[in-house]
Structure 1
Amino acid sequence: MKKYSAFIFYLLFAIPQLTTAQAAILAMIFGDKVASEKFNLSMEVGVPFNSFSNVDDLKIQNGINFGIAGNLKLSENWYVSPTVYFLSKRTVILKHTNLISDDAYLNSLYSDTSAKMRLNYTDIHVLFSYQLSDSNFRFGLSPQVSFFGKSESTYSGPEGELVQNTSKFVNKTDYGVIANVGYYLKSAHKGRGIILNLRYYQGFTDVLKNDFASGDNKSNYVALHVSLPFLTDELASKNLKPINK
């Protein structure tokens, strides 16, 4: 069991360049093979509603998180889940912004306009959770580091929409902390369980560079999140058995 755990932890942290398809295949191949009562893999899917601090007239938009986690039971109440979101999209609409390009005429056409900004990251976090005794509720905290991939913005103007690669205006790393409240549906998913999460993320660094947005602009979001554990049929059947008190 130890060698499987070490292998999965290596995969979670050493190869964040995996595509979402590869991540899904990895989870399906190894998911139930390394599952035990104290360790399993899970598929992670979430919808964050992202915002930036101190950015005027900003409209919150939903994004998406997708990845895999390794879930380790430390004791009857404590759990740790190292997680990688290979796909982490954050989206906002900037209502009063200006196109910044080398073309002065284009800049004049897309001045004081709205732009839909999409940012792609790879997120890595380690969630430490405490489950209340005789309860399905879990409360957790996690540090998170996000590695920026690319950004694209769609500007609205009198000549129609203009799409610009805005990656050069975004800092390469974002880090912060997650507060999470989870509810464990143990018998759901044919006994494999589902964990429903409500979480809040607060970033500690500016996302946008000063030449694009001056002042503080730290990322924060509220996310709805679902965790789908991979368990063997034997473990799933145990979850469906009534508890005799």
Structure 2
Amino acid sequence: MKKLLIISIFLLLSTFSEAQVLISLLLGDKLNSPNIEFGLEGGLNFSNINGFDNAGNLRSLNLGLYFDIRMKNNWFLHTGFQGMSSLGMRDLSSSDLEFLEADIYDVEGKYNQKVLAFMVPILANYKFDNHFYVEAGPQLGWLYDGWIAFTSDAEEKDWKIKDFNKEQFNWFNAGIAVGAGYKLLKGTGWSLGVRYYQGLTDVYKNRSKSLHHSLLLKVSVPIGVAKKPD
């Protein structure tokens, strides 16, 4: 687990750095103003789906863009999209696999459900004077692809098989998200935060209360330098 976290953080920081340089070269410092902050947001996501017997949360990297739009004083509208986002569940049981009509292989291995999603948070964000913030509001999603991933190292072979099952999903997902965090460098730098999402619509067409929930450990990186208010 510790090794996975270190590798995930390294990959995320590398992706952030490359994307930040590219966007800055294209648009310079024109993206940010005293009332709008734009940047990259992503992190390590732990997700699961209610109503199944799986053994744990699916870990994945999320990455997207965000906008913080000042509404009044310390109140902001936090929105954007998570374009590289996934949800799902890890270590499916035999009953889970039966419901999902998954292919079963004759070698020992693990079965994970992975769902690719395009998520849009629409959150009310309040920034305290000490640079902490809290946020809450609806989050909408489009489930556009998915598969059951079988992995194994049996028989001295590296097994990686995808059994696509997009047709089992409801394409629309919606729920409530709440979060909190802290903005570094006296409120002018990166933000570190956590966000919990509870889905209110079923992920699967044929299973009621198959609700997605996830915990995102996130980093927000503003692009360019925001100008200070007059």
Normalization by structure 1: what TM-score?
A: 0.71
Q: Which residue of 2 aligns with 1:11?
A: none
Query: What runs of 5+ residues in structure 1 fail to find an aligned partner?
Result: 1-19, 240-245
What pairs with 1:27-176 in structure 2 (closer than 5 Å)? Answer: 29-30=26-27, 32-93=29-90, 94-96=92-94, 97-98=97-98, 100=101, 109=105, 114-132=110-128, 134-155=129-150, 162-176=161-175
Q: Which amino acid aligns with 2:178?
A: A
What pairs with 1:176-215 in structure 2 (closer than 5 Å)? Answer: 176-187=175-186, 192-210=188-206, 214-215=207-208
Query: What runs of 5+ residues in structure 2 fail to find an aligned partner?
Result: 1-15
Question: Partners in 1 of 2:75 and 2:86 — Cα distance?
Answer: 30
**Matched residue pairs, number?**
203
> Out of 203, 219, 244, which is 2:212 matched to?
219
SS in 2 for 1:63: strand
Question: Partners in 1 of 2:45 and 2:38 — Cα distance?
Answer: 22
Normalization by structure 2: what TM-score?
A: 0.75
Question: Partners in 2 of 1:164 and 1:170 — Cα distance?
Answer: 14
Question: What is the root-mean-square deviation in Å for CA atoms of aligned residues?
Answer: 3.1
Shift of 1:139: 0.9
- Per chain length, whose mean CA-contact separation is higher, i.e. which structure has more relative contact order (CA < 8 Å, sep 6+)? 2
Identity %: 22
Question: Partners in 1 of 2:198 and 2:140 — Cα distance?
Answer: 11
Q: Which has the larger radius of gyration?
A: 1
Question: Partners in 1 of 2:24 and 2:138 — Cα distance?
Answer: 23
